[in-house]
Structure 1
Amino acid sequence: MPQEARPRAADRLDDDDYPAFTMGRAAEMIGATPAFLRSLGEARLIEPLRSEGGHRRYSRYQLRIAARARELVDGGTPIEAACRIIILEDQLEEALKLNEALRRETGDDGGPAGA
C-alpha cells in the first residue's frame, strides 16, 4: 500500500502559520519576556497553539504581531491600546486588499468618478 505523503518538518518552516517557536525562543527573538507574550495572549491579540505537553508555540506571523505590539508598548502605548491599534491596522490592511481586488475586477482605476 502506498504511504501517504507527509510534509517534512523542514518544509513547514517556510509556513508563516506553523507554530515553530517555543515561548522562550519567541520572547528572545522579539526582545521581550515570556510574561509579555502571555499578556498578549490574555489580551487575545495572539493565541498560540499548545503542544501535546501544553506548552505555547508561536508562528512567524504571531511573532510579527508581537514585535509590533512591543514597539508600541516601548513607545509608551498601554498594552490594551497597542492591541487595539494592531487589530485596526490589520483590518485596514484587509480592507485595502479587498478594495484593490474589487477595483481590478471592475476595471476601476481608482480615479475621480465621472472623469
Structure 2
Amino acid sequence: MPPRSTRLVDSLDDDDYPAYTMGRAAEMLGTTPAFLRALGEHRLITPLRSEGGHRRYSRYQLRVAARARELVDQGTPIEAACRIVILEDQLEEAQRINEELRTQGGQPPP
C-alpha cells in the first residue's frame, strides 16, 4: 500500500474524488443545497456518500453543476438544463472517441 502522503496527493489530483461537502459545494457554486439535491433528482449528478451518509461532490460534478446553473440562470427549466448538460457531455465524449480513432488511423463505427 502506498504511503499515506502519496494517497493524499493522488486524491487531490483526482477530478472524481468526492472532496466537497454539500454545503461547501453550494457555496462554491453560489447556489443552495436544494439546487444540488434537484440535480441529483434529475440524475445529472450522483454524489457519493460519506460513512455518515452525507453527500460528497467531486470537482467534475461541480463543473457539471456549474454548467446546469448557467442554463437555469438563463431561464432554462432545471429538467431541460439537466438534459442539455447530459447531451453536451455525451457529444463531447463521442467527439473525443472519433478524434482518437482518426489519429490512430481507424474509422469511427457507422
Answering whether residue 87 of structure 2 is matched by residue 80 of structure 1, we say: no
- Indicate the residue corresponding to 1:113 in structure 2: none
Give, in angstroms, the shift of residue 8 of structure 1. Answer: 3.1
Residue identity opposite 1:100 in structure 2: E
Unaligned runs of 5+ in 2: none
Q: Cα 1:107–1:50, aligned 2, differ >3 Å: closer, same or farther? A: closer
Give, in angstroms, the shift of residue 84 of structure 1. Answer: 0.5
Map 1:20-35 to 2 at 5 A.
20-35=19-34
Task: Please give the secondary structure, in 2, of the residue aligned with 1:13.
Answer: helix
Q: Cα 1:107–1:77, aligned 2, differ >3 Å: closer, same or farther? A: same
- Indicate the residue corresponding to 1:5 in structure 2: 2
Residue identity opposite 2:52 in structure 1: G
Q: TM-score, normalised by structure 2?
A: 0.90
Comparing 57-66 with 8-17, which one deviates more in the overlay?
A: 8-17
**For residues 77 and 14 of structure 2, what CA distance do their matches in structure 1 show?**
31
Residue identity opposite 1:34 in structure 2: P
Map 1:3-82 to 2 at 5 A.
4-6=1-3, 7-82=6-81
Comparing 60-69 with 93-102, which one deviates more in the overlay?
A: 93-102
CA-based RMSD of the aligned residues comes to 1.4
Instruction: Give identity over the alignment, percent.
Output: 77
Q: TM-score, normalised by structure 1?
A: 0.86
Q: Which structure has greater helix proportion?
A: 2
Larger Rg: 1
Number of residues paired by the alignment?
105
